[in-house]
Amino acid sequence: MADTEPTEEETPDGLLGWCLVANVAQETARGESGLDIQRGTKHFPAGALLWIPPMRWDPGWGRWHAVGRHRGNGRRYVNMVVRADDLENFRVKGVYSEGLVRSLNGYDHDPAAPRTLQNPWTRERAQSWADGRNQLREGIVIDGQRHPRISVPNPPPAELQVGGEILHLAQYGTRGPHYSRMPPPLEWVPET
């Protein structure tokens, strides 16, 4: 995704660093098998801008540390752990606010240097992460067995060739695409 902000050579006045940002998805899946669809998340409304600092610790598979303005109090920044699947439209933005720097730094914030990001993104690294998330691919299941190293785009193709054999899309749901080695059954058409 192309970024419209100035390049490194044209650094604007007041820029404190670069950060990966994303919006909260309009619809998020909750509940058993993701069948309960909600607008936004419990803590952030749909479309809210979240700033994603580089990971200092692992909050769990598919979860990221994020900073944003809370649904109930839109003035202060809050730190939360959010599901990566609840985010969309990843891009890179410049950080200009000392309050945002304080929240992005978390416990590592140094009051003696309030305008210094302690663990900053480089613009190139953040753009690489944004491009990777915007072109998300899904791992597949072949005859009931998950194959995480084989991935397909969303939506998945009806037929997939892997290792010389053709796989057929059997089902596609919240758990990802399921492929089968058996071709789909032929549809019976009555003779006229």
Q: Which residues pair with 167 in a beta bridge?
A: 160
Give mean pLDDT, residues 91-104. 89
Domain residue ranges in the chain: 8-134, 137-180
Query: Is residue 8 a contact partner of residue 127, using CB atoms and an 8 Å limit?
Result: no
Distance separating the N- and C-terminal Cα atoms of the chain? 53
Tens digits of residue pLDDT in 127-168: 998 988 887 777 888 888 888 788 888 788 999 998 889 999
Least confident among 38-42, 106-110, 170-174: 106-110
Tens digits of residue pLDDT in 26-53: 887 777 766 677 888 889 999 999 999 9
Asked whether the predicted pLDDT for residue 63 surpasses 70, the reply is yes
Residue 131 Cα to chain centre, angstroms: 10
Report the predicted TM-score, pTM, of the whole model to 2 decimal places.
Answer: 0.67
Confidence at 54, pLDDT banded by 50, 70, 90: confident
Over the chain, what HEC string results? Answer: CCCCCCCHHHCCCCCCEEEEEEEECCCEEECHHHCEEECCCCCCCCCCEEEECCCCCCCCCCEEEEEEECCCCCCCEEEEEEEHHHEEEEEEEEECCHHHHHHHHHHHCCCCCCCCCCCCECHHHHHHHHHHHHCCEEEEEECCEEEEEEEEECCCCCEEEECCEEEEEEEEECCEEEEECCCCCCCCCCCC
